[in-house]
Amino acid sequence: MSSDRVTIRQIAEMSEVSVSTVSNVLNGRTLRMSAETLERVRGVISTLRYRPSSIARGLVTGRTATIGLVVAEIETALFFSAVGALETAARDAGYNLIVCHARGSRDEAEVVTVLRTKGVDGIIFIANSEAVDNTHLSDLPAAGILAVVINRRRPGPEFGRVSWDDRAGVSGAVEHLHDLGHRRIAFLRGPRSRDSTRERAAGYRRGLKKAGLPYQEDYVRHADYTADPLTWERAAGELLDLDPAPTAVIASDDSVAAVVIRTAQRRGLSVPRDLAVVGIDDQMFAALLNPPLTTIRLPVKEAAERALKMLVDTIAGQSMRAVRLDTELVVRDSSSPEPPHHRQSAGCLPSGKVAGPSSPGRKET
């Protein structure tokens, strides 16, 4: 097969220099080298299309310019933008990404082992905020493998961490709805096992308090976005059956929000006139719904970029940190004070106007 691989030795011979000289030009240690030699070596390299084997290099340097990415729930649309952003950022920094999907602690431990044998320089974990066991990560720092976690509890101080402020996000959404005149604001909780669910619930309470609204048990329902959509529909229906029914709903994510909208519409209600709906995530389709969905945008891409930067900076000598990003409320028609067909046709894809100044993480677009 690949019998004709060009090696550094051949380059050396053809350039009539030693391998170390070639190695030097390869690695930019070219400062005090005769310009003529440099030229000649470079010429041979390019005519032979020589590319040093990063395997061989990795064996001796112990570095591979490869980063492992361990993704929980790879099927989730939101995480894909993270993978994309990460890949771009990584390649800009001269790294490649080995992407692995881990479905649980056991799986993750296995994946980490493989990644270690492959000699990755660092690992980024992007999680679903599931409070997962971290013990299998404890020996990573000792093994000299840098790691940063996204949307997950920090396994230790040697780990980098990037997260976002779920609590402030939901709190801000409540305030937004309150500003619009809503007084009966319901909240759909996500999967029970996730930290994000707790944070968001806390944000809901905080938002109510800030707005001076009472917390009502009845207005909080469970709608696990990892479960069957029929269950979301049921939860939405129960909310709508209440008397008095809520005039606004913050859904557990954009998918659930889509079903809430549909459920309301099927009952003849108009969104947002009879019911305002706010999602969480800002997935691609949010702006395409009818009406376009107001949603709490999670800064997944930014998180990915920050995580990568943290890793690269740490390789360059800095130490790990924990950063928390702001979410951003993207206001579209599903929470506007007037029904969408009476308004300018606002809200298509990445547009989205912005709410009042009261809550954090809002930004002009």
With respect to a second copy, which residue has the nearer C-beta, 174 or 256? 256
- Other residues' Cβ atoms within 10 Å of the Cβ of residue 357: 7
State how far the Cα of 204 lies from the Cα of 187, in Å rounded to an integer.
Answer: 7
Residue 138 within binding range of a second copy, rule CB under 8 A: no
Please report, for residues 95, 146, 188, the alpha-carbon distance to residue 317 in angstroms, rounded to integers and kept in the order given: 17, 11, 44
259 binds, among a second copy, DNA, none (CB under 5 to 8 A by kind): a second copy
- Which lies closer to DNA via its Cβ, residue 27 or residue 319? 27
Other CB atoms within a 10 A radius of the CB of residue 350 amount to 9
Q: How many residues bind DNA (CB under 7 A)?
A: 28
Among DNA, a second copy, none, residue 37 binds (CB under 5-8 Å by kind):
DNA
- Among 29, 118, 209, 363, interactor with a second copy by CB under 8 A: 118
Told to check if 157 binds a second copy by CB under 8 A, we report no
Rounded Cα gap, residues 174 and 177, in angstroms: 5
Cβ atoms of 297 and 81 closer than 8 Å: no
Q: In degrees, to the nearest 5, what angle opens at C-alpha 356 toward C-alphas 213 and 364?
A: 145
Q: Which partner in DNA, a second copy, none is near 34 (CB below 5 to 8 A by kind)?
A: DNA
Pick 51 or 209: Cβ nearer DNA: 51
360 counts as binding DNA under rule CB under 7 A: no
What six digits make up the tokens of 141?
A: 């720092």
Least distance between a second copy and beta carbon 74 (Å)? 4
Kindly report whether the peptide bond that precedes residue 291 is cis, defined as omega within 30 degrees of 0: yes
For residue 190, give the nearest of 266, 279, 262 by alpha carbon: 279
Beta bridge mates, 250: 187, 278
Q: Which of 288, 337, 338, 356 binds a second copy (CB under 8 A)?
A: 288
Q: How far apart are CA 12 and CA 18, in angstroms?
A: 5
Task: Report, in Å, the least distance between residue 316 CB and DNA.
Answer: 15
Q: d(Cα 153, Cα 176) in Å, to the nearest integer?
A: 29
Binding site for a second copy (CB under 8 A): 1-2, 51-56, 58-59, 62, 64, 66, 74-75, 77, 79-81, 83-84, 87-88, 91, 96-101, 113-119, 143-145, 228-230, 233, 255, 258-259, 261-262, 265-266, 283-285, 287-290, 340-341, 345, 348-349
Binding site for DNA (CB under 7 A): 5, 7-9, 16-21, 23-24, 26-27, 31-34, 37, 50-53, 56-57, 59-61
